[in-house]
Amino acid sequence: MQRVFSLTEHLKKSSNPEDDIHKAKMSAQQYTFQGWMGLDKDSVSGKMVWQEFEPKTWTEDDVDIKVTHCGICGSDLHTLRSGWGPTLYPCCVGHEVAGTAVKVGKNVKHIKLGDRVGLGAQAGSCLDCEECVAGLEPYCSKGLIGTYNAKYPDGSKSYGGYADYCRAPGHFVVKIPDGLTLAEAAPMLCGGVTVWSPLKKNGAGPGKRVGIVGIGGLGHFGLLWAKALGCDEVVAISRTSSKAADAKKMGADRFIATDEDEGWAKKNSRSLDLIVSTVSSPNMPLTGYFRLLKTYGQFIQVGAPEDAFPQFNAMALIGKGCKLGGSSIGSPADISEMLEFAVQHKIHPFIQVRPMKEANQAIRDLESGKARYRYVLRNEKHADELGV
């Protein structure tokens, strides 16, 4: 580890301390970037290696985050095994990054040194296309830059939060409000906003009956949000009833077990205004899900598959004027809105905190379906310093 310099030392060296105070603050602390690196497809089997990496080239638009917590997302597994396409190994995954700002570019106005901050799944976009100007950064027409496994325009790579530090453009770094712990906020930054966004943008609230398919890391957030948004009815939909009790605690009014409830689609026909699907399988009973929709109902897919989407008869949609759509992650504004909503409604996710040193075992456990319902890695060194 490099030497840590004091701010006073830097100011003493300056011929004009007032003009140079920003540079002094920014250079007062030196550190190296180290994290759990996936070196090849076998890394998803618990073979990540802790090593140093070179972050993106620093600019005055950037923020360095001292990582205290990082949620584990299914996207991490897809990327480690190159499930969505060839991964840019070596790769440090993790895009639910929470911690404190330890270096802030002079062009960043909404973040200050020491702020509790978070970074979700997106770390870059052009910021000047029609979508970006409209606050739809995840749909940037020139391409989204992921928090990990992506390249910035200058060719430098993005690295995620299974690490000591994470660097990203400040536009995509959000403040974490008081009322949420860093451990709670971390999984909201991707998993939480991935279901928050389609619920909000498709009218979830009073007068609506909403179904959530899949009661996992994403689905459990769907139930929490839908209930707090005041939906008339919240329905949990899963293959078996093994999570029914938990779903009720999360806000579900009813539970449909598609592998157990005989005639479930017919019995619940035309009962839902909106369904958000967090699962992705070529075998999921898509036609049955469509049958649950009311006239003009909407089915929104957020689970991102590695394989083919199930085939279906178009009449399942045409016959009721239903819509099939998709939704990506959320914008920085969406994330900030969601975090404030969580504080106001005292929403606390169902998480299991794991030591960062156990990251390899944690991803194996996630793959095995053991998470209840979101794993969060705790960087022991940094979290202990802050007592969080």
For residue 227, the model assigns a pLDDT of: 98
**Which three-class secondary structure state does DSSP give residue 119?**
strand
Looking at 218-373, which runs of residues are DSSP E strands? Answer: 233-238, 254-257, 272-277, 293-301, 323-326, 351-355
What is the predicted pLDDT for the residue at 135? 98
Tokens of 215: 């009661």
> 335, 174 in Cβ contact below 8 A?
yes
Map out the domains of the chain with their CATH numbers.
31-175+350-386 (3.90.180.10), 192-326 (3.40.50.720)
Question: Is residue 92 left, alpha or beta, with left meaning phi > 0 and alpha meaning psi from -120 to 50?
Answer: beta
What is the spatial distance between Cα 358 and Cα 377, in angstroms, rounded to a whole number?
8
Q: Are 131 and 66 in contact (CB under 8 A)?
A: no
pLDDT of residue 14: 42
Q: Classify residue 303 by burial, with Cβ atoms within 10 Å: 0-12, 13-18, 19+.
A: buried
pLDDT > 70 in the chain, percent: 93
Extract the tokens encoding 1. 């580890």
Supply the pLDDT for residue 29: 65
Report whether 76 contacts 365 (CB < 8 A).
no
Distance CA(333)–CA(60), nearest Å, equals 21
> Is the Cβ–Cβ distance between 199 and 225 less than 8 Å?
yes
Residues 6+ apart with CB under 8 A from 326: 300, 301, 302
Low-confidence ranges of the chain (pLDDT < 70): 1-29
Sign of the dihedral through C-alpha 154, 155, 160, 166: negative
